[in-house]
């Protein structure tokens, strides 16, 4: 599913071992391993701590988790208003952080030397 692979990719990109991230997020390394393999789902408070320690917006991990819920509902044959709502919330979470990150990326642009 999406949450486990997203979490693993972000952890590796941050240069953290499972043990390091687990310690920082106050979970066991075995639990983190289960989450990365989509065998367990973290609570929202654990998800928030993981996001903080990976230095990513909480919405990114929440969107991945909601995507898993949407896929599970579709696999079970449910595609109704609730599934549409979950998908809309997931997309909103994914896109809401983009302008903030773009702002951060270009914040120092005014301090660069101007070409003449």
Q: What is the pLDDT at residue 80?
A: 64
Instruction: Indicate the helix (H) or strand (E) that contains 37.
Output: none
Give me the CATH code for the 2-98 domain, please.
Answer: 1.10.260.40
When mean pLDDT is compared across 35-44, 45-54, 103-112, the lowest value belongs to 103-112
Domain assignments of the chain as residue spans, ordered by start: 2-98
Using one digit for the tens of pLDDT, what is the confidence trace for 46-65?
A: 999 999 999 998 888 888 88
50 CB-near residues (< 8 Å, 6+ apart) = 7, 21, 25, 42, 61
Say if residue 16's pLDDT is above 90: yes
pLDDT, the chain, mean: 78
Burial class (CB in 10 A: 0-12, 13-18, 19+), 83: middle
């Amino acid at each position: 599913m999406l949450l486990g692979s997203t979490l693993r990719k972000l952890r590796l990109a941050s240069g953290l071992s499972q043990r390091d991230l687990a310690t920082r997020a106050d979970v066991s390394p075995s639990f983190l391993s289960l989450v990365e393999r989509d065998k367990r789902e973290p609570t929202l408070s654990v998800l928030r701590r993981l996001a903080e320690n990976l230095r990513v917006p909480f919405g990114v991990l929440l969107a991945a988790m909601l995507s898993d819920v949407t896929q599970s509902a579709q696999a079970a044959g449910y595609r109704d208003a609730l599934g549409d709502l979950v998908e809309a919330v997931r997309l909103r979470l994914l896109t809401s952080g983009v302008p903030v990150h773009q702002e951060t990326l270009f914040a120092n642009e005014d301090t660069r030397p101007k070409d003449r």
